[in-house]
Structure 1
Amino acid sequence: MSEPRWLDAAQQRDWRAYVDGSVRLTEMMDRDLKTRHGLSVSEYEILVRLSEAPGHRLRMAELAENASQSRSRLSHTCSRLESKGLVKRDNCGTDKRGVYAQLTDDGFATLERAARDHVEVVREYLIDVIEPEDLEAVGRAFSAVLKRLDAT
């Protein structure tokens, strides 16, 4: 068995900062969205993905992939959104196994209200505290991470 490639002190510091910062930021955004709009971060992400899709609808399989959720978890999340009247699901006419999720008018209105507050939180706790060149570096870094993950 080969020896692990341990992180040096600077790498360990940066890794821990990423883990701690991303977890705490996500938790804070989740609390804020729940308190102000009754939405979790994962519910908000689904509404965003549907709002950006043609006709505000996507197949559940594609939505799961885009929203980084398992199909099972997405199904539960969409059930909650359906019970709130924000999303509706329809069977695919050409594929009996296919199901579409569609953003309702109420869902779009809820997203518009939530997005106004959410963008301020993102700005206050991320965008405005990072120098522009550092933010660009974060974007480049996570584009590389996503590319590597997509290749596996």
Structure 2
Amino acid sequence: MTEIRQPLPPFDLQTATEKVRLAEDGWNSRNAAQVALAYSPDTRWRNRTHFVSNRDQAQAFLEQKWHREHEYRLIKELFAFKNNRIAVRYAYEWRDDSGQWFRAYGNENWVFDENGLMKERHASINDLPIKDSERKFHWPQGRRPDDHPGLSELGL
């Protein structure tokens, strides 16, 4: 059975923007098993210094990530696209077990197969410790509301 994940490449502005929002929504769900289905079975990742070489490893990575990163909230923004490739910039906020908040800033380069599954994900990320008063992402856990500002509107 062929897995298909809409929208499919080649991307235009509308479908690339939609693909980015779908990825954001998935990661904000923090459901590692569901999120992993957006990646090809042989997906390859570089996430900071961590490397993933298949969907099962991606799911395990996400389970560990969301076990450590409490109250995770993410905003992604389309940066560029062409054919089956999308580049995004993003920021997410989370706190550790001690209560310290962080804002992580990153860029990702994505490559999709013909069925719309992500086969490559290359991420560069930096964490900045922040005070609770500096947080900007205050929606309830889960999907970012449509009326919540994006990165550009927040000046990030």
TM-score, normalised to structure 1, is: 0.25
Which structure has more RCO (C-alpha within 8 Å, separation ≥ 6)? 2
Richer in helix (by share): 1
Larger radius of gyration: 1
